[in-house]
Amino acid sequence: MEEKKSHKLLNFFIIIVILLVLIVLYSKYLGTKGLIVKEYRVESNILTKNFSGIKVVHFSDLLYKSTVDKEDVEALVKKINILKPDIVVFTGNLVTNTIKISDNDTSFLIEELSKIDATLSKYAIYGEFDYNYSDYDKVMKESGFTILNNSYDTLYYNNDEPIYVVGLPSSIKETIDIDKSFEFYKEEDRRFVIVLVHDGKTIKYLDESDYEVDMILGGYSLNGSIVIPIYGGLFKDSNSYKYSAPYYEKGITKIFISSGLGTKKYDYRFLNKPSFNLYRLKAQS
């Protein structure tokens, strides 16, 4: 009887070990590849009808040369263009900080990111690794992106009723100047506001301000990289603050945190494929 029990326990232990090995192998070699699009419908009574139906594509944490290679970048650009977006935003960490980026890599990134088509505009902000990449500004600007850094842009479409896109720097590396970024803001003439952040910690500055915004788009956390059912993302730190999951809602503010495309400290993804987001804006009548 004792021998049968020991045999069952040994079998159970072997099965657990095999499952763990398979999960690790999947997370490293299959979980980090493939690209999905997460689609969201964003309805607002602040949004004016001229912007109703606008498509916004949001990608983050490309982390080129981590688990992302040239083919992955090419696939990303093609998939974005298939969606025919009106606005494209990038919320930081273009490259990894562990591998040297060559001049050829820089030329490749400019060539590919230039191919991203947006009918209205393309915007970018800094992630914490972008401060160490001397060609970041060059890549984004020559690719047609407007870099927002404690600043905003006024976006018009079809008439004189605008929306505003605000870009904040990474609070890990730079001081956040909320008042400067919201110089346009008039409570008596509220317009639809999209805020680009990199890390969740930056959202804290918005939480503590008096500015009301409609969408916050961020990255950094990779949604925890390894996602455990019920528990959520495994790899989180204080720079994510309390924003590491894909979606949050605070009053009228909808907060979206991209799972990103590459990897950082650990080259693993589980139940969390590389992805970018598509938002379809809808004006509520």
What CATH number is associated with residue 104? 3.60.21
Predicted TM-score (pTM) of the model is 0.94
Could you list the residue range(s) of the whole structural domain that residue 98 is in?
34-283
Mean pLDDT value across residues 169-187: 96
Same domain, 2 and 124: no
Same domain, 165 and 255: yes
Mean pLDDT value across residues 103-130: 98
Same domain, 170 and 204: yes
Same domain, 41 and 53: yes
Same domain, 217 and 200: yes
Mean pLDDT value across residues 239-253: 95
C-alpha dihedral (173, 174, 175, 176), degrees to nearest 10: -100
Same domain, 38 and 26: no
Same domain, 22 and 40: no
What are the tens digits of pLDDT across the range 160-177? 999 999 999 999 999 999
Same domain, 12 and 83: no
Specify the pLDDT at position 10: 66
Instruction: Look up residue 90 and give its two tokens.
Output: 């990038």
CA torsion through residues 92, 98, 104, 105, sign: negative
Length of the chain: 285
Same domain, 180 and 274: yes
Mean pLDDT value across residues 81-108: 97
Specify the pLDDT at position 234: 87
Measured between alpha carbons, how far is 32 from 63 in angstroms, rounded to an integer? Answer: 12
Same domain, 89 and 7: no
Same domain, 2 and 59: no
What are the tens digits of pLDDT across the range 62-82? 999 999 999 999 999 999 999
Same domain, 14 and 86: no
Strands in 22-180 per DSSP E: 36-44, 55-59, 87-90, 121-124, 146-147, 151-155, 163-167
Domain total for the chain?
Answer: 2
